[in-house]
Amino acid sequence: MYMYIYFLVFNSIISLVISLLMMFYKQSFFFHWMAMSLNSFIMEFILFFDWISMIFVSLVSLISGFVLMYSIYYMEGDFTLDRFFYLVLLFVFSMYLMILSPNILSVLIGWDGLGLVSYGLIIYYQSWKSFNSGMVTVLMNRIGDVGILMMIGLLMAKGSWNLMFYFNSMNLIIMFLILSSCTKSAQLPFSVWLPLAMAAPTPVSSLVHSSTLVTAGVYLMIRFNMFLMDFGSKYLLMISSFTMFMAGFVANFENDLKKIIALSTLSQLGLMMSILSLGEVMMGFFHLVMHALFKSLLFMCSGIIIHLMLNNQDIRFMGSLIKFYPFVGLMFFFSSLSLCGLPFLSGFYSKDLIMESFLMKKINYFSLIMIFMSTMFTVSYSIRLINLVYINDLNKLNCMCLKNEDFYMVLSMLILFFFSIFGGYIFMNLFFFIEKVIILKFFEKVFVLMVCTFGIWFGWWISFKEFSFSLYEKVFLNKMFGLEFILNCIYEKVIFISLIYYKIDKGFIEFIQISGLKKKFLLMMNFFQIDIMFLNKIMTYFVFLIFLSICF
Which of 326, 379, 377, 374 has its CA nearest to residue 348? 379
Contacts of 382 (CB under 8 A, 6+ apart): 264, 336, 337, 339, 340, 459
Question: Is the pLDDT at 453 greater than 60, yes or no?
Answer: yes
Residues 298 and 379 in one domain: yes
Q: Is residue 512 part of a domain?
A: yes
Q: Are residues 64 and 213 both part of a single domain?
A: yes
pLDDT at 396: 55
Report the distance separating Cα 22 and Cα 14, nearest Å: 12
Residue 180: the pLDDT is 86
- Among residues 117, 116, 111, the alpha carbon closest in space to that of 89 is found at 117
Query: Do 69 and 157 sit in the same domain of this protein?
Result: yes
Contact by Cβ (8 Å): 328, 405: yes
Question: Of 419, 442, 467, which marks where a domain is finished?
Answer: 467
Query: Which positions ≥6 away from 380 have C-beta within 8 Å?
Result: 248, 252, 455, 456, 458, 459, 462
Do 514 and 371 belong to one domain? no
Pair 69, 116 in one domain: yes
DSSP 393: P
308 assigned to some structural domain: yes
- φ, ψ (nearest 5 deg) of residue 91: -60, -45
Q: Is residue 487 part of a domain?
A: no
Q: Quick check: is 432 in a domain?
A: yes
pTM of the model: 0.83
Whose CA is closest to 460, among 374, 396, 379? 379
Give domain status of residue 481, yes or no. Answer: no
Q: At 468, phi and psi to the nearest 5? A: -105, 110
Give the integer Cα–Cα distance in Å for 144 and 139. Answer: 9
Question: Is the pLDDT at 530 greater than 70, yes or no?
Answer: no
What's the pLDDT at 141?
Answer: 82
pLDDT at 533: 53
pLDDT at 219 over 80: yes
pLDDT at residue 137 tops 60:
yes
* The three-state (H, E, C) secondary structure of 403-456, written as one string: CCCCHHHHHHHHHHHHHHHHHHHHHHHHCCCCCCCCCCCHHHHHHHHHHHHHHH
Q: What is the pLDDT of residue 435?
A: 66
Considering the domain architecture, whether residues 405 and 517 belong to the same structural domain is answered as: no
Separation of first and last alpha carbons in the chain: 57
Q: Is pLDDT of 510 > 70?
A: no
The 10s digit of each residue's pLDDT in 429-450 is: 877 655 677 788 888 888 888 8
Does residue 540 belong to any structural domain of this protein? yes
CA distance linking residue 295 with residue 323, whole number of Å: 23
Q: Over range 461-483, report the average pLDDT.
A: 72
CA 467 from centre of chain: 31
Query: Which one of 442, 467, 492 terminates a domain?
Result: 467
Same domain for 252 and 321, yes or no, is yes
Q: Residue 433 has what pLDDT?
A: 56
Give the pLDDT confidence score for residue 387 in this predicted structure.
Answer: 86
In a domain, 111, yes or no: yes
Give residue 176's pLDDT band: very low, low, confident or very high (50, 70, 90): confident
- Domain hosting residue 421, numbered range: 1-467
User: Rounded mean pLDDT of the chain?
Assistant: 79
Q: Are residues 537 and 457 in the same domain?
A: no
511 and 458 within one domain: no
Same domain, 409 and 515: no
Instruction: Please state, in angstroms and rounded to a whole number, the distance separating the CA atoms of residues 18 and 51.
Output: 8
Across residues 49-63, what is the average pLDDT? Answer: 88
| Chain centroid offset of residue 394 CA | 34
In a domain, 245, yes or no: yes
Q: How far are the Cα atoms of 7, 20, 65, 198, 267 from residue 53, in angstroms, in the given order?
A: 19, 12, 18, 28, 24
70-75 contacts: CB < 8 A, separation 24 or more? 70/203, 70/206, 70/300, 70/303, 70/408, 70/409, 70/412, 70/413, 71/201, 71/203, 72/1, 72/408, 73/406, 73/408, 73/409, 74/201, 74/202, 74/203, 74/303, 74/307, 74/409, 75/201, 75/203
Contacts 24+ apart (CB under 8 A), 121-126: 121/84, 121/87, 121/88, 121/91, 121/200, 121/201, 121/204, 121/208, 122/197, 122/199, 122/200, 122/204, 123/199, 124/84, 124/87, 124/200, 124/201, 124/204, 125/199, 125/201
Most confident of 6-15, 187-196, 307-316, 490-499: 6-15
Average pLDDT over residues 364-387: 87
pLDDT of residue 469: 67
- Residue 490's pLDDT band (cuts 50, 70, 90): low
Longest dimension (CA), the chain: 101
Residues 453 and 539 in one domain: no
Cα separation, 116 vs 303, whole angstroms: 24
Residue 116's CB: how many other CB atoms inside 10 A? 14
pLDDT at residue number 400: 64
d(CA 26, CA 434): 14
Percent of the chain with pLDDT over 70: 80
Q: Are residues 458 and 515 in the same domain?
A: no
pLDDT at 492: 63
Query: Which pLDDT tens digit goes with each residue over 224-262?
Result: 877 776 666 778 888 888 888 888 888 888 888 888 888
Q: Is the peptide bond before 454 cis (omega within 30 degrees of 0)?
A: no
In the chain, the number of structural domains is 2
β pairing state of 29-38 and 41-49: antiparallel
Partners of 47 in the β-ladder: 31
pLDDT tier, 537 (very low <50, low <70, confident <90, very high otherwise): low
Q: What is the CA radius of gyration of the chain?
A: 27
The residues near 315 (Cβ < 8 Å, ≥ 6 apart) are 255, 256, 257, 260, 385, 388, 389
Written as one letter, the residue type at 113 is G
Per-residue pLDDT, 391: 82
Instruction: Please name every residue paired with 256 in a beta bridge, in sequence order, or none if there are none.
Output: 314
Mean of pLDDT values over 412-422:
86
Domain boundary among 437, 467, 497: 467
In whole angstroms, give the CA distance from residue 136 to residue 480.
15
Per-residue confidence (pLDDT) for residue 493, from 0 to 100: 66
